[in-house]
Chains A and B, each alone.
Chain A
Amino acid sequence: MRAQRTHYSRAFLYAIAVHILALVLVVFNLPFETLYKPPASHKEVMQAVVVDRSVLEKELNRSRTAGRREQEEERQKKMEQQRREAEKERGHAVAAQKQREEDEKARLEKEKQQVSALEKQVQEEKRLAEQKRKREQEKKRLEEERKRVAQQAKQEEEKKRQEIQQREQEKKRLEEKKRKQEEQQRRENEERKRKQEEQKRQQEEARKEALLAELAAEEAEQQQQADAERVNDAIARISAKLARYFNKAGLPSGLVCKVRVRTVLSGDVISAQVVESSGNTMFDRQCEIATQKASPLPVPAEQRLFETYFREVDIRFNPWE
């Protein structure tokens, strides 16, 4: 397209050049011949001439626009008139003209040859142009192909990029997922670990507790044993003390009486009351008296034992061993 435009614009430029040339010839009334002295390089001019008139016309017509076209036409008419007037004048010099026509003929031949050469050249040019066009086309195609390829590549690249991106995203996602999973896993592991540790800790705790309980039980057993010993010891001492104060004198033998005794930690007897009578007032009485007289009873000094066993005791008097 652009090539086409270039092509047109180039043609246009040629047209303009021709016109300008004509104009110059008209204006300055220069002899065409003199004028026509192709410069060392008038390839362009030749080219301009070579350009087919139709195209030029077309171009010119096409270039006449709106108001300017009429003006131009006017101007051209004027110019035509001037030219024809000029030619009229020149008819005067037809003889000379003949010569000149001869010359002109030769020149035209020459020019014809030249034109032929030019045509050839134009053909060549055309061919070359065609070639060039084709090349251009090819080039364009190639370009397009290239572009397409490039586009494709680009697309592919884009695709690839997208894919990569996707992949990356996927990767990222997966990574994220993985990370999350790992995180999850980690958390789960941690949780599990924590739970395991907790469990372990609890087990350890339980084991410790069990051990402690065992120890405590053992200790309790030992304590119990120690307690039993101390309790029995206290019982023996209390019994012995009561026996020292129990006066059998004057009492009928074979009687048995039970007295409930309340004491305080000091062993002091707070109360002594017959709970199972012997049936003999004086014997029952002596049991109470002996208990009171034996006060303070040698109860264990340890409050726990005292509270458990000795705050209240029954004393069974059967002093007839």
Chain B
Amino acid sequence: MTQIKPSFQSLAFFLALSLSVGAQAVITIEVTKGVESAIPIAIVPFAGGTQAAAMPVDVAQVVNADLAGSGRFNTLASADLPSQPHRFAEIQFDDWRRLGMENLVIGTLAPTASGDYAIEFRIVDTFRATQLAGYQIVSPPDDLRLAAHRIADRIYELLTGEPGAFATRISYVQVAKDTGGRAVYQLQLADADGYNPKTLLESADPILSPAWSPDGRKLAYVSFEGKNLTVYVQHIATGDREAVAAGPGINSAPAWSPDGGRLAMTLSKDGNPEIYALTLAGRRWQRLTDDPAIDTEPAWSPDGRRIAFTSDRGGTPQVYQVAANGGRPERITLGMGPYNARPSFSHDGRLMALVHAEGGSYRIAVLELGSRDLRVLTDSRLDESPSFAPNGAMIIYATVGARGTELAAISVDGTVRQRLATSRGEVREPAWGPLRRW
């Protein structure tokens, strides 16, 4: 992605302001509060982008959906756009100001001689009539959605100061039926919005708990192949895999250390599910918990020093944490209801997503670790497997909707929830992959 130098500077409207500074004492009004509301942005369909025959993807529409789905943006439906400018000079700033749309995205999309597409887009400040940023991306036709996600990431980062996580991938397990009516388990890889799913592994036996390596190249998962729970690590690109834990009993719930050198998981090789850490290089095991109750679902903290897990040692499932090198676990979810499980750290370690059950409903909640403030985000009944987006802005999870199980993403403030586009069938255990390096 190459940056376009702003070709339009401040217009007369704002230049005139410099003359207004008076000599006399001016009272100062203090504004000590503000609001945290969605950032207004209008994304105008790119020139050439709406010609469906020529363009397989409506790039602007993808960007719009990404930004809107994040909960951080207040977008404008294309029907509500006052006009559809494609170049800076065509912008009627007052129209956008009236709508309170301080941010406007315009762009063009044109095929290149090599058969790719050249996408140019600008982010414009309508109140100051200036260009905030402008970029050009060249994308093969097949990757236009990805290009759109990358555009959304740019916009997101520019306006929120945080990296976007739209051009990332998710992995999940889909349960389909074969022609004979038997269940077929598929390990799926898809764009973060659920598009472009690819099957990495298909099995007649259940597949569970996919987990992304921090570099995004490998997936660890559990397979019940051979009627034995086995933890595999599979290279995404090549499909090569190896079993890393295949002992007797339970081998499940793998979780990568942030440096990618270790895997935490649940093993019952010693008679009772406990948390172990496997150092991949050299295959050394370390037992981290020792309790007659069930300890499972480990999650590594972003700093790599702690491992959170679910345990019912207190009578009901609650979240505990233990030092990455073992020690005395401490309970995290104290006084937060009878059921808190399946912890997942945000990228900054500030938040923890978990499944919170109360009155028979299992819902996704976010615990702010510093303040111990637990916020329930969803209001459905059977939510499971929350996984933070790598920028901490959203949480993907599985839920039961009107058409069966499905994947959903919710903004971390709970304001925006979107259902991911997945094919029909049962979907489980989504895992949000890391940011990609481009």
Interface residues of chain A, those whose CB is within 8 Å of chain B, are: 231, 235, 238-239, 242-252, 258, 260, 262, 270-273, 275, 282, 285, 288-290, 292-293, 309-310, 312-321
Question: Does the CB pair A248–B17 fall under 8 Å?
Answer: no
Question: Does the CB pair A271–B160 fall under 8 Å?
Answer: no
Q: In the assembly, what is the distance between CA of A314 and CA of B102, in Å?
A: 22
Bin the interface of chain B by size. Answer: 20 to 34
Question: Does the CB pair B22–A312 fall under 8 Å?
Answer: yes
**Distance in Å: Cβ of B30 to nearest Cβ of chain A:** 5
Set A243, A252, A292, A310: member contacting B31, Cβ < 8 A? A243
**Distance in Å: Cβ of B49 to nearest Cβ of chain A:** 26
Question: Does the CB pair B17–A273 fall under 8 Å?
Answer: yes
- Nearest-neighbor residue (CB-CB) of B40 within chain A: A247
Q: In the assembly, what is the distance between CA of A271 and CA of B36, in Å?
A: 25
9 sampled A-B residue pairs with Cβ under 8 A: A249-B72, A250-B159, A260-B21, A275-B21, A293-B127, A312-B22, A313-B26, A316-B30, A318-B31
- Nearest-neighbor residue (CB-CB) of B413 within chain A: A249
Q: In the assembly, what is the distance between CA of A258 and CA of B29, in Å?
A: 9
Known: A247-B35, A262-B20. A288 touches B128 (CB 8 A): yes
Find residues 242-266 in chain B having any chain A CB closer than 8 Å to their own CB: none
Set A239, A246, A252, A320: member contacting B35, Cβ < 8 A? A246
**Distance in Å: Cβ of A289 to nearest Cβ of chain B:** 5
A-B contact count (CB 8 A): 114
- Nearest-neighbor residue (CB-CB) of B37 within chain A: A247
Interface string of B271-282 (1 = CB under 8 A from A): 000000000000
Question: Does the CB pair A246–B31 fall under 8 Å?
Answer: yes
What residues on B are CB-neighbors of A235 within 8 Å? Answer: 27, 29
Question: Does the CB pair B34–A246 fall under 8 Å?
Answer: yes
**Distance in Å: Cβ of A204 to nearest Cβ of chain B:** 40
Question: Does the CB pair B18–A273 fall under 8 Å?
Answer: yes
Q: In the assembly, what is the distance between CA of A250 and CA of B102, in Å?
A: 14
Set B17, B27, B32, B128: member contacting A285, Cβ < 8 A? B128
Task: Name the residue among B28, B158, B162 with the largest chain A CB count within 10 angstroms.
Answer: B28
**Distance in Å: Cβ of A317 to nearest Cβ of chain B:** 5
Set A248, A249, A262, A315: member contacting B29, Cβ < 8 A? A315
What residues on A are CB-neighbors of B29 within 8 Å? Answer: 235, 238-239, 242, 313-316
What residues on B are CB-neighbors of A246 within 8 Å? Answer: 31, 33-35
Known: A260-B20, A260-B26. A321 touches B127 (CB 8 A): no
B66 in the interface (beta carbon within 8 A): no
A273-B18, A273-B20, A309-B27 known; 6 other A-B pairs, CB under 8 Å? Answer: A242-B29, A245-B35, A250-B161, A290-B31, A292-B97, A314-B27
What residues on A are CB-neighbors of B26 within 8 Å? Answer: 260, 312-314
What residues on A are CB-neighbors of B27 within 8 Å? Answer: 231, 235, 309-310, 313-314
- Nearest-neighbor residue (CB-CB) of A231 within chain B: B27
Question: Does the CB pair A250–B125 fall under 8 Å?
Answer: no
Q: In the assembly, what is the distance between CA of A240 and CA of B14, in Å?
A: 25
B337 in the interface (beta carbon within 8 A): no
Question: Does the CB pair A293–B39 fall under 8 Å?
Answer: no
Question: Does the CB pair B160–A318 fall under 8 Å?
Answer: no
Q: Lowest 9 CB-CB distances: which A-B pairs, in order? A: A319-B34, A250-B160, A246-B34, A243-B33, A271-B17, A273-B17, A248-B34, A314-B28, A321-B32
What residues on B are CB-neighbors of A244 within 8 Å? Answer: 35
**Distance in Å: Cβ of B175 to nearest Cβ of chain A:** 39
Known: A272-B17, A312-B22. A318 touches B30 (CB 8 A): yes
What residues on B are CB-neighbors of A289 within 8 Å? Answer: 102, 125, 127-128
**Distance in Å: Cβ of A117 to nearest Cβ of chain B:** 150
Question: Does the CB pair B36–A248 fall under 8 Å?
Answer: yes
Question: Does the CB pair A249–B39 fall under 8 Å?
Answer: yes
Known: A247-B39, A250-B162. A319 touches B33 (CB 8 A): yes
Find residues 35-50 in chain B having any chain A CB closer than 8 Å to their own CB: 35-39
Q: In the assembly, what is the distance between CA of A321 and CA of B38, in Å?
A: 20
Set A243, A271, A282, A316: member contacting B20, Cβ < 8 A? A271
- Nearest-neighbor residue (CB-CB) of A292 within chain B: B127
Task: Name the residue among B27, B30, B159 with the largest chain A CB count within 10 angstroms.
Answer: B30
Question: Does the CB pair B125–A243 fall under 8 Å?
Answer: no
Q: In the assembly, what is the distance between CA of A317 and CA of B30, in Å?
A: 6
B237 in the interface (beta carbon within 8 A): no
B16 in the interface (beta carbon within 8 A): yes
B239 in the interface (beta carbon within 8 A): no
B425 in the interface (beta carbon within 8 A): no
What residues on B are CB-neighbors of A282 within 8 Å? Answer: 158-159, 161
B100 in the interface (beta carbon within 8 A): yes
**Distance in Å: Cβ of A272 to nearest Cβ of chain B:** 7
Q: In the assembly, what is the distance between CA of A317 and CA of B32, in Å?
A: 6
Question: Does the CB pair A271–B31 fall under 8 Å?
Answer: no
